[in-house]
Amino acid sequence: MAGPSGVGTRTFSQHIADRQKGFPEARGEFTALLQEIMVAAKVISREVRKAGLIDALGLTGRMNIQGEAVQILDEFANETIIRNVGHTGHLCVLSSEENAEPIPIPDQYPRGGYVMTFDPLDGSSNIDGNVSIGTIFSIHRKRSSGTDGTLEDLLQAGRDQVAAGYIIYGSSTILVYSTGRGQGVHGFTLDPTVGEFLLSHPDIRIPTDGRIYSVNEGNTGRWDEKTRKVVAGLKGSDNPRGEPYSTRYIGSLVADFHRNLLYGGIFLYPPDAKHPTGKLRLLSEAAPMSFLAEEAGGKATTGRERVLDVVPKELHERVPLIVGSPREVEWAERILAS
């Protein structure tokens, strides 16, 4: 049953259309772009849900720009987003974690005033194990003056995002998004019986204090002293809580982030000897998640600076990411920056 807030009945489309009414000057392009992302999410969710039945598991046999094996579903999600979102006239250029270079809009399609960076399928290594995976997107306004978007349009700081979000393909499919600037973070669950994303998590606020820590502890031997001190603190009592935190680590950023957003906690992917600047990609992973975290009342740092203030120099730049409840992130940052 729906409450007065529209939980369980209000669709994502209604929600974004209503929000647009608050901006009389808006021409609807941004709302249309979010709609197309939602449609792509439904198509990807449909494939993910039946992956084991339709020969969609496993590898393509190719490696991506990051030197990672490309899964069949990675490629499907990438192509779906490029086609369903990139070719609808709202974007002037795209960038995907799976493509080395910016993705131009082919000549026959119109160009729009926005730029999108995305991770088509996050947590690929979990696909074949039927563990939660996701899609991440980040939107900026076009800055350059020509019709086509440029590299400069893509290399913008996270603080200048006009929207960010993710879709998690978990026990249900949920779309979480924010347009920042105090508009809040909202979650919509795909109801497969009606084929709509319905409001399920209005105005998500991350708990200020957490009880969970999430990090790949297999990397302990590759960390520096300060990172080891933070994680040892979380396991002992020398921490803001005064007792050990619970470990939860899935290995899909979207899923680890989503859980900690709802329950409170701290996620860390620090630099290590194998990933000297961190593993996660600034534009397609760290910046959109940091935008959502801050909008929900959380914090996100590289250990040295606010993630949203990092100005990217290249498309596939990696940064350390420490994100979550403000109490825990501020405490970790104090140790890391000391």
Nearer to ligand AHG, 88 or 252 (CB): 252
Among 112, 123, 298, 326, binds ligand AHG (CB under 6 A): 123
Secondary structure of residue 92 in the 3-state scheme: strand
How far is Cα 184 from Cα 295, in angstroms, rounded to an integer?
6
Kindly state whether residue 36 participates in binding ligand AHG, applying the rule CB under 6 A.
no
294 interface partner picked from ligand AHG, Mn ion, none, CB below 5 to 8 A per type: none
Asked if 301 contacts 272 with a C-beta cutoff of 8 angstroms, the reply is no
Count of residues that interact with Mn ion, criterion CB under 5 A: 3
> Taking the complex as a whole, how short is the minimal distance between the CB of residue 70 and ligand AHG, in angstroms?
10
Kindly state whether residue 122 participates in binding ligand AHG, applying the rule CB under 6 A.
yes
Kindly state whether residue 256 participates in binding Mn ion, applying the rule CB under 5 A.
no
Q: Which residues lie below 8 Å from residue 146, measured CB to CB, with a gap of 6+?
A: none
How far is Cα 215 from Cα 144, in angstroms, rounded to an integer?
38
The first and second tokens of residue 218, run together, are 């297999």
The 202-241 site mask, x for binding Mn ion (CB under 5 A), equals ----------------------------------------
Stretch that binds ligand AHG, among 17-25, 29-37, 117-125, 175-183 (CB under 6 A): 117-125
The 240-269 site mask, x for binding ligand AHG (CB under 6 A), equals -----------xxx---------------x
Q: What is the secondary structure of 227-251 as a DSSP string?
A: HHHHHHHHHSSSSTTSSPPEE---S
Q: What is the secondary structure of 259-322 as a DSSP string?
A: HHHHH--EEEE---SSSTT-SEEIIIIIHHHHHHHHHTT-EEE-SSSBGGGPPPSSTT-EE-EE
Dihedral sign computed on CA atoms, order 228, 234, 235, 239: positive
On the 0-12 / 13-18 / 19+ scale of CB atoms within 10 A, 319 is buried
Nearer to ligand AHG, 35 or 117 (CB): 117
Kindly state whether residue 138 participates in binding ligand AHG, applying the rule CB under 6 A.
no
The first and second tokens of residue 293, run together, are 């975290």
Tokens 């086509």 belong to which residue?
A: 148
Kindly state whether residue 272 participates in binding ligand AHG, applying the rule CB under 6 A.
no
How far is Cα 115 from Cα 151, in angstroms, rounded to an integer?
10
Nearer to ligand AHG, 235 or 334 (CB): 235
Nearer to ligand AHG, 200 or 252 (CB): 252
Among 41, 48, 84, 119, binds ligand AHG (CB under 6 A): 119
Among 36, 75, 97, 328, binds Mn ion (CB under 5 A): 97
The 111-150 site mask, x for binding Mn ion (CB under 5 A), equals --------x--x----------------------------
How far is Cα 326 from Cα 297, in angstroms, rounded to an integer?
7
Phi-psi region of 181 (alpha: psi -120 to 50; beta: other; left: phi over 0): left
216 interface partner picked from ligand AHG, Mn ion, none, CB below 5 to 8 A per type: ligand AHG
Can you give the binding site for ligand AHG, defined by CB under 6 A? 68, 97, 119, 122-124, 216, 251-253, 269, 279
Can you give the binding site for Mn ion, defined by CB under 5 A? 97, 119, 122
